[in-house]
Amino acid sequence: NAGVMQNPRHLVRRRGQEARLRCSPMKGHSHVYWYRQLPEEGLKFMVYLQKENIIDESGMPKERFSAEFPKEGPSILRIQQVVRGDSAAYFCASSPNRGGNEQFFGPGTRLTVL
């Protein structure tokens, strides 16, 4: 049973470009969470999605950031017009259902904005 997959593992973008991060949850998991981790800091919640639904996006910046989890295919975190402050590790986690169940993390995407 493959774990949570994320790609790319490393992404370099210039200021103003778009970054697109992908996350495939574990088989049988329908809940996806995105977290951001700045260097030497903890993980900050960004958004929680189920298939075709955004459940909670309270941690996501109002502008330039969007997320989706379509019926088919991976969850996508999209950052438009990236700035240097967007440089971070972005982790995706999945869980089989809501409420008190462990979240399994992917290997992360390390975004560097030049």
Partner 1 sequence: GENVEQHPSTLSVQEGDSAVIKCTYSDSASNYFPWYKQELGKRPQLIIDIRSNVGEKKDQRIAVTLNKTAKHFSLHITETQPEDSAVYFCAAGPMDSSYKLIFGSGTRLLVRP
Which residues form the interface with partner 1 (CB under 8 A)? 31, 33, 35, 41-45, 48, 55-56, 58-59, 91, 95, 98-108
| DSSP reduced 3-state for 108 | coil
Helix ranges restricted to H, the chain:
none
Q: How far is the CB of 66 from partner 1 (least distance, A)?
A: 18
Q: How far is the CB of 25 from partner 1 (least distance, A)?
A: 14
Q: How far is the CB of 71 from partner 1 (least distance, A)?
A: 21
Q: How far is the CB of 32 from partner 1 (least distance, A)?
A: 11
Q: Which residue, 13 or 31, is less far from partner 1 as judged by CB?
A: 31
Q: Give the C-alpha separation, 59 to 73, whole Å.
A: 23
Q: Which residue, 76 or 105, is less far from partner 1 as judged by CB?
A: 105
Residue labelled with tokens 């075709």: 52
> Residue 33: how many CA atoms within 13 Å on its side-chain side?
18
Q: Give the C-alpha separation, 73 to 64, whole Å.
A: 22
Q: Which residue, 18 or 56, is less far from partner 1 as judged by CB?
A: 56
Cβ count within 10 A of residue 45: 15
Q: Which residue, 7 or 17, is less far from partner 1 as judged by CB?
A: 7
